[in-house]
Amino acid sequence: MGPQPREVLRPLTGDERTTLRTIGRAGSERADRVSRAKALLAAAEGVSFSEAARRSGRRSSFGVAKLVARFNRLGLSAVDTRHGGGPARQYMASARERILEELRREPDRELDGTATWSLTTLQRALRSAPDGLPNVSTWTILQTLWEAGYTWQQRRTWCPTGTAQRVRKSGVVTVVDPDATPKKT
- Mean per-residue pLDDT, 45-70: 92
Report how far Cα 152 is from the mean position of its chain's Cα atoms: 16
Q: What is the pLDDT of residue 107?
A: 87
Report how far Cα 79 is from the mean position of its chain's Cα atoms: 12
Extents of the domains making up the chain: 14-79, 93-180
What average pLDDT does the chain have? 86
The answer to whether the pTM exceeds 0.75 is: no
The closest alpha carbon to 71, from 93, 50, 42, 28, belongs to 42
The contacts of residue 166 (CB under 8 Å, 6+ apart) are 172, 173, 174, 175
List, for residues 90-144, the tens digit of each pLDDT value. Answer: 778 889 999 999 999 988 888 888 888 889 999 999 999 998 899 999 999 998 9
